[in-house]
Structure formats: C-alpha cells, structure tokens
Structure 1
C-alpha cells in the first residue's frame, strides 16, 4: 500500500541517545534520501521508517523509546511495525561478541533506508560488507565525541576542539575496526604518566601505536528476532524473524509472538549451545 509522502511532514525529532556505542547504526552504501523512500510500505511502517531514518546515529530505537517519543503509535503497534520493517529489509537487531570472548555481547540495531534482501544482510553481518569507511559521517562523529570526552575520563588528556578534529580520523579507524568508544577511552587513558605536557601529541602517538588489527572477513554474530528476541545464527533467521513470528504474519502487520514465546531457561540453553558450537568450529 503506498502512502502520500510522510517524510516532509516529519521534522527532525529531538530524540534521546542510547548509551555510547549502542543505538541506531546506519548501514553503508545507502541511496541518498529522497521523496517517496518508503512508499512501498503500509502507512504505519512508512511513518516509523521515515521517523527512524531522520534520527541521528546513536539514538535509541528500541520499542519502548520509539513508542514514547513519536506521537502516533504505542508499543504494540511499534513492535508489529518493526517486525514488518525487518521482513522488508530495513531493520536488524543483532548481538556481537565484545572482543574475542563469547561471554560478553553488545546489542546493535541497524537501519537501512534502502531495503536489503536476506543475502545482503547475511554478508553484512558476517563482515563481507564493510560496516563503514573510516571517513563515514557516523563513525567520524562518534570518534570526535569519544575524543571530546577523554578529559572527563582523565583530565590529563583534555583536548581542544581543534585537536579533536585533527585526531578524529585516527580515532575513526579504531571504531571502524570494531573497537567500542569505551575500549578506545581505556586504551588511551591506561597507564598515563604523572604529567602529560602535550595531550594532543600524546593521544596521536597512542592512536597510531595501539591501532587494533583489521577485523577478519567473517565474525560471529547472533541475530535477534525482532518479534520475540530469540537469538540465532544469521542463516537461521534470514529475514530477521524466527519461524514463530513469521508464521504469525510479522511482515503482514498482524500481532507478533509474545516476548515470552520461549521460557528463559530455553533461551539460555540455546545461547549456550551456539557458544559451544562457535568454540568447536573456531
């Protein structure tokens, strides 16, 4: 069902940010924003897609926050719409291991203005499609913000605006290689000398000397079913929805499976099995 251009009616929202490193992540290689980007979607899905599309990187796009911040739809409607956006190729929620350990995972939510098929998402989530170039706008912005916050972590590394801008590209390389902002701050502030006479030069040296290696082409991720939150390998949830939620018509806009579709012990058992499988195949 087409919709009469919802985009121009939506001002850029004042929307809360997620914790650093979380929130909205835009995928690379999207077409420029233009009239009718979401005309192929039903009215509700087109409205929410246009709303999310206009949000800055790092803003919270979970169900509760979206339901609270936009005026039209409550949590149940937002949940169903996100199911539909997932099936349509615009939205994915995944778990990514923190570093090499499989005991700590971070959640990332990806949005694509350009609809992607299941094959593209599988390649992207496995690392075959670069998550972002070091000079991409979202990575650079996050890199600048991380550098600007260094002084709060340790006042010996307080940087000026000009120093943050000059070091932004180096910091962006860390983020593009998988480092979180928190990990970057720890690497720059660990073991500081008693006095740092030139914070800018000191940070530049550490950014160059401690730059992490490029990520391997493939990485272990778990896709979360947008409908019920059950995790699974990307090939088991090719369209971002489990069989139960697909069977309840997530793409057609009907009521999704409830969050308690599986008991907690069963979810933990499945995650443990996935971790064990990863260790065996590593």
Structure 2
C-alpha cells in the first residue's frame, strides 16, 4: 500500500522515451505545480499523476512502462489509475490521422497521449481535439481577446509542429488570415489549405504560411452555394482503458460505455 510519504517519488532520469511522435504531450495554459495539485485524486491516482507530471515531453506513459519504472504498482493497478486520471480530466488518448508518407503515399493513425496538470472538462477536451485551443477555464478576464484569425494561426502548430508560429508571427499574419477567413470562414478548409502537403522540412513557418495565405486565397463569393459535406475527422478520442475510438461525446471521462460499467 502506498503511503503519504511515497507520493513525492520522482521518476529517474533514465525513464524511457516513446517512439518519435508518441508519448506524453502537454496541453496549454497549465498552472504551476503545487503541493495540492492532485490532492483531489485517490491515493493511487495521485501517486501516478505526480509521477507522470514530472516526466518530460514524449516520455513513454503506457501502463507497461509506468509499472516498470515506479516501485509501487503493477500493470493492472497502473491501468486503473490511468482510468481514474482520465475520468478526473487529466489525461486523454487521441488517435490522429497522419499526413500521407512521401514514399508510400499511405496514411496511418498515430496515438497521442495528452496530459494536463489542470483537471479539464469533457467540453474542453472536445474542443481541443478539434484543434480549437480553448481559453483557460479560469482567469479568462485577465487574457487579452484575440481575433479568430489570430487563434487559427496559433492552432496550426497543433495540427503540424512544422507550422508552429510565434506570437509575433501570428500578429504579422493576422490581417492576411482575416481576409482569407472572410472569403472562406470554414476553419477546417483554412487548416487544410495551410497544412496539407507540407514539405519534409519547413525552414521558416512564418514565410511559408504567408505564401500560402497569398497563393491559396479563395475567390470572393458571388452567390450562395450548398455547403459541402464536412471532411472526415482527422482525430478521434480513444478509450483510456480499451483503446476503442470515438468522438468525445461518446467517451465521457475518456472511457467508452463498456469500460464505464
């Protein structure tokens, strides 16, 4: 049985890293770590939460690795703790469709495990899954309002790290993106136009996005046409327990119906 003193156990510097593109991924607008950050959790989940939180980005945080790298809990107990962390809003597994490979031209799904020191709501995770970084659930009145164009530019890095823009970049490109969205307001169309078919290396994300904003600017709409069907989702939530994919509304607390029973 874990004791209160063992809650402060930290991972070793040699904790395994996941394969490139996998492993622990942070979420925006985190609070500083406090002594009571995970005090609302049961003892076992509190211990695993502190262990995961101390790990660097892209560390392996699957049940098998976590069971091996900490001394208190085996795989079954770690798996149960991960479910508790998912229900509490600290963790989500997301299945994302990667871009076609340059050689084979095929697509594949990759699994990302997102970690939040703050307990997030199901609604927050649903918006995050769709590429819309929600405003902080607390202290919103202290943050300056941003235009939709600025937010869409800032979110490009979530869809593909090669297009990660700085705040200065987003400000410089904001006017061009505003004009783009005025002609075609669908955020999915905008994101696909900016991130589709990227070269293997983008040396200057700001210059690259500026070129695409100019070259792929939609024409002015002359008449109203029927709305095209929405594109197939590029990301699905995964049940933390069994890995079954689904939309966020079908996985409250990050668990499917069978695993919640």
TM-score, length-normalised on structure 1? Answer: 0.57
How far did 1:240 drift? 0.6
1:61 corresponds to 2:78: no
Question: Which residue of structure 1 lines up, in the alignment, with residue 257 of structure 2?
Answer: 243
Tell me the C-alpha RMSD between the 2 structures.
Answer: 3.5
Secondary structure, aligned partner of 2:99: coil
> Residue 134 of structure 1 corresponds to which residue in structure 2?
none
Per the TM alignment, residue 104 of structure 1 is displaced from its structure 2 partner at its CA by 1.6
Change (3 A) 1:245 1:221: same
Return closer, same or farther for 1:242/1:174 CA change in 2, 3 Å cut-off. Answer: closer
CA distance, structure 1, for counterparts of residue 55 and residue 253 of structure 2: 23
Q: Counterpart of 2:129?
A: 125
Question: 2: CA distance between counterparts of 1:12 and 1:34?
Answer: 20
Quote the Cα distance in structure 2 between the aligned partners of 1:185 and 1:43: 45
Distance in 2 between residues matched to 1:109 and 1:4, nearest whole Å: 27
Equivalent residues of 2:131, 2:158 under 8 A apart: no
Match of 1:105 in 2: 109
CA distance in 2, matches of 1:16, 1:10: 14
Residue correspondences, number: 186
Unaligned 5+ segments in structure 2 are 136-153, 164-194, 214-231
Aligned match of 1:178 = 160
Q: Which residue of 2 aligns with 1:115?
A: 119
Give CA deviations for 1:40-89 in whole Å, capped at 9, x if unaligned: 11111000000000000010111111111111111111111111110010
1:187 aligns with 2:163: no
Secondary structure in 1 matching 2:80: helix
Assess if the C-alpha contact under 8 Å between 2:87 and 2:252 holds in 1. no
Equivalent residue for 2:246, pick from 209, 232, 239: 232
The runs of 4+ residues in structure 1 deviating greater than 3 Å are 3-9, 100-103, 172-177, 183-186, 206-214
Is 2:131–2:155's contact at 8 Å kept on the other side of the alignment? no
- Aligned partners of 1:221 and 1:234 also within 8 Å: no
Structure-2-length-normalised TM-score: 0.61
Find the aligned partners of 1:41 and 1:64 in 2 and give their Cα distance.
Answer: 22
User: What do residues 109-131 of structure 1 show as CA deviations (whole Å, max 9, x unaligned)?
Assistant: 00111101111111111112169
Change (3 A) 1:173 1:45: closer
Query: How far apart, CA to CA, are the structure 2 residues paired with 1:27 and 1:241?
Result: 19
Are the equivalent residues in 2 in contact too, given 1:5–1:36 (CA < 8 A)? no
User: Where do 5+ consecutive residues of structure 1 fail to align?
Assistant: 132-171, 189-202, 248-282
Q: Distance in 2 between matches of 1:27 and 1:5?
A: 28
Structural mapping, 1:28-47, within 5 Å: 28-47=28-47
Please tell me whether residue 76 in structure 1 is matched to residue 76 in structure 2: yes
CA distance in 2, matches of 1:53, 1:70: 13
